[in-house]
């Protein structure tokens, strides 16, 4: 019986830590960061065009065979989203980054990850415009990242002890332009708070139960 007790406590602790780790969430879509399709309406296409450098816009127009100085709505969509015969390389790059980097991340994405992603793309157009694409992806995905959309063991501890709040207080708060965005952020925070409390409560109960079992007298 003593040999059984010797591994009950470590086993429960490992199981508890695995449960807490499983509460990690990948980065989620926000009001500013969305998954594909990209630029499939004139408004969405214009928003993306506004984030491009002049050099990137010029290169993309050449690639897509668009020569107009003042883009029509159809040309905006064709430039960013593509059409039935020619997919936009920008839309492809954004989709690849979204699925390969953004949706697989549980913490804030770094510029180094953007560089690694671009270096791994097998596309001549990407290689030609690597610096401008790095700037574009940084603007779209990195600068709009919301800390409340991420979770993990470190975030669990921050949520309970208020470390995240203290760090946020040292930065200039972002201005929300829409009430929906603020409401969505509050709902996400509340949900993650409940998950955090439940995970830590379960961990405490598991450890308490393991200690009781460990000190129970052995049966003859």
Mean pLDDT of the chain: 75
Q: pLDDT of 117-135, one tens digit each?
A: 999 999 999 999 999 999 9
The pTM assigned to this predicted structure is 0.60
Query: Rounded CA gap, 218 and 26, in Å?
Result: 45
Q: pLDDT of 61-115, one tens digit each?
A: 999 999 999 999 999 999 999 987 789 999 999 999 999 999 998 888 999 999 9
* Cα angle 55, 71, 44; round to 5: 85
Query: Rounded CA gap, 156 and 137, in Å?
Result: 28
- Three-state SS for 204? helix
147 secondary structure, DSSP code:
G
The answer to whether the peptide bond before residue 180 is cis (omega within 30 degrees of 0) is no
């Amino acid at each position: 019986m003593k040999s059984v007790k010797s591994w009950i406590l470590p086993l429960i602790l490992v199981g508890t830590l695995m449960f807490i780790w499983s509460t990690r969430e990948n980065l989620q879509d926000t009001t500013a960061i969305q998954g594909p399709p990209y630029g499939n309406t004139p408004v969405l296409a214009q928003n993306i065009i506004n984030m491009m450098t002049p050099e990137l816009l010029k290169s993309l127009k050449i690639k897509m065979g668009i020569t107009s100085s003042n883009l029509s709505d159809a040309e905006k969509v064709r430039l960013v989203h593509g059409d039935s015969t020619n997919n936009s390389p920008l839309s492809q790059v954004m989709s690849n980054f979204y699925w390969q980097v953004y949706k697989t991340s549980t913490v804030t994405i770094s510029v180094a990850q953007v560089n690694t992603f671009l270096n791994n793309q097998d596309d001549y157009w990407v290689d030609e415009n690597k610096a401008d694409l790095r700037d574009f992806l940084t603007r779209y995905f990195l600068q709009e990242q919301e800390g409340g959309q991420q979770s993990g063991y470190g975030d669990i501890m921050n949520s309970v002890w208020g470390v995240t709040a203290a760090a946020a207080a040292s930065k200039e708060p972002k201005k929300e332009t829409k009430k929906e965005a603020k409401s969505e952020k509050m709902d996400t925070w509340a949900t993650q708070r409940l998950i955090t409390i439940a995970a830590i409560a379960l961990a405490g109960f598991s450890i308490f139960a393991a200690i009781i079992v460990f000190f129970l007298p052995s049966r003859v």
